[in-house]
Amino acid sequence: MKAEIIAVGTELLLGQIVNTNAQFISQECAAQGIDVYVQTVVGDNQERLLSSLQLAASRADVVICTGGLGPTQDDLTKDTLAAWMGRQLLIHEPSMQAISEMFASRGIHMVESNRRQANMIEGSDPLHNETGLAVGNALTYEGTHFILLPGPPKEMKPMFMNQAIPWLQAHMTDEVPLYSKMLKFAGIGESALEYQLIDLIQDQSDPTLAPYAKEGEVTIRVTTRAHSEMEGERKIASTITKIQKRLGDHLYAEQDVPIETIVLELLGKKGLTLTVAESCSGGLLSDLLTSIPGSSQSFIGGIICYSNALKHKLLGVPMEVLEGAGAPGAVSSETAVILAEQLLVRTGSDFGVSLTGVAGPSPSEGKPVGLVYLGLAQKNAITQVFTLNLSGNRETIKLRAAKRALYELWKQLKEN
């Protein structure tokens, strides 16, 4: 099945936002065995939108549109398509009711234009909007399927995953669906990982292996075609085993979750608690952990000891360790160890993780950008300290330091 994606919105053409919707939809289409041939962005202009829709329909089996479903006169996707097809726009009553209730509950007067968000093209199927007001549409016209999704990613993503994909699957007739598994790795870079798997990557035919790196983690998508999960699992089993053998120390999940999810799960299962002392990572490690719902069960908090004064006052690092001629300094294994151990003393947590280093852009204490010490203290165990030499800009170094801390913690939890 050939697909084209059309994103509608002048803000994209002005470069005010980046087209992450096209990326998301492309990824998910690839996972479904739908080949995306073209991505297009057009503005909120009826004539150019129509011309893009017609061109895409002439080439593709499915045209997936995002944007232009909102309440304003700029939101033209349904109107344009309905006019071209010679169909009416009808009100989808359940959506209309949800819109009215939302306005009533907030005590805001609903203006007439908000009714537009409940519009359906005659003969289309509604795609429920879990996180917003505008209802999506799915329909077939002259042999081409059209999927109309809202523009805001938080509305588009659940609608695409939970509504549009099942609709498309029901309309894909003779294709064997793709079955794929995501393997997630931490504590290893993309090139080092590829090097370990180079024979599998080069010889691949079925299953295929697609490695990619993002946000401090590396993912491999292992893909085959299968009619059932069981058949899919069987076809990829020997490849997965080979990868596990070579990279088991880095393979933290066989599903697309960040490592913080797995660390929190392991802590939760064992009834253990975690605190962190963040200097160079500046709160990012805590932020990653607390982004996972339910994290409060195991992550009880931490200290952002950004200045030396707070490393001393809040976590008792002696000033003579931190400053002065010949002192190890704030960026040192000594400081990392004290920070991690004092977390246990002062909070009573089972694990204490510390990060202290140079995030950049300038060196600090005469130490180079990217040098980071990671302390890992655990009740009734010897404290470990790791010296990291990280590359990248300030943001990347913060993220790599935080992810490395999670990786070392995962290794510790996995082994015990």
Pick from 50, 314, 385, 388 the residue near its own copies by CB under 8 A.
314
Stretch that binds its own copies, among 78-86, 116-124, 238-246, 272-280 (CB under 8 A): 272-280
Q: Are 70 and 151 in contact (CB under 8 A)?
A: yes
Return the SS3 of 409: helix
**What φ, ψ does residue 157 adopt, rounded to 5°?**
-60, -55
Q: DSSP character for 79?
A: H
What distance in Å separates the CA atoms of residue 410 and residue 250, rounded to the nearest whole number?
Answer: 10
301 binds its own copies (CB under 8 A): yes
37 binds its own copies (CB under 8 A): yes
Task: Tell me the one-letter amino acid at 315.
Answer: L
Task: Enumerate residues 70-129 that contact its own copies by CB under 8 A.
Answer: none
Query: Nearest 5 degrees, angle CA 272-CA 275-CA 277?
Result: 155
- Residue with Cβ nearer its own copies (121 or 373): 373
40 binds its own copies (CB under 8 A): yes
Question: What's the closest the beta carbon of residue 349 comes to its own copies, in angstroms?
Answer: 9
- Residue with Cβ nearer its own copies (257 or 310): 310
Q: What is the CA radius of gyration of the chain?
A: 26
Stretch that binds its own copies, among 16-24, 93-101, 121-129, 258-266 (CB under 8 A): 16-24
Stretch that binds its own copies, among 76-84, 91-99, 109-117, 294-302 (CB under 8 A): 294-302
What mask, x for binding its own copies by CB under 8 A, covers residues 120 to 149?
A: -----------x------------------
332 binds its own copies (CB under 8 A): no
Pick from 313, 379, 381, 387 the residue near its own copies by CB under 8 A.
313
Stretch that binds its own copies, among 121-129, 239-247, 375-383, 388-396 (CB under 8 A): 388-396
Question: What would the 3-class secondary structure string for 162-215 be?
Answer: HHHHHHHHHHCCCCCCEEEEEEEECCCCHHHHHHHCHHHHHCCCCCEEEEEEEC
24 binds its own copies (CB under 8 A): yes
Q: Are 77 and 46 in contact (CB under 8 A)?
A: no
Pick from 187, 232, 328, 360 the residue near its own copies by CB under 8 A.
360
Return the SS3 of 367: strand
Q: Are 137 and 125 in contact (CB under 8 A)?
A: yes
Phi-psi sector, 119: left (phi>0), alpha (psi -120 to 50), beta: beta
Pick from 285, 344, 353, 397 the residue near its own copies by CB under 8 A.
285
Stretch that binds its own copies, among 15-23, 85-93, 111-119, 239-247 (CB under 8 A): 15-23
Pick from 38, 165, 257, 385 the residue near its own copies by CB under 8 A.
38
Task: Enumerate residues 198-237 that contact its own copies by CB under 8 A.
Answer: 210, 212, 214, 219, 221
What distance in Å separates the CA atoms of residue 246 and residue 105, rounded to the nearest whole number?
Answer: 56
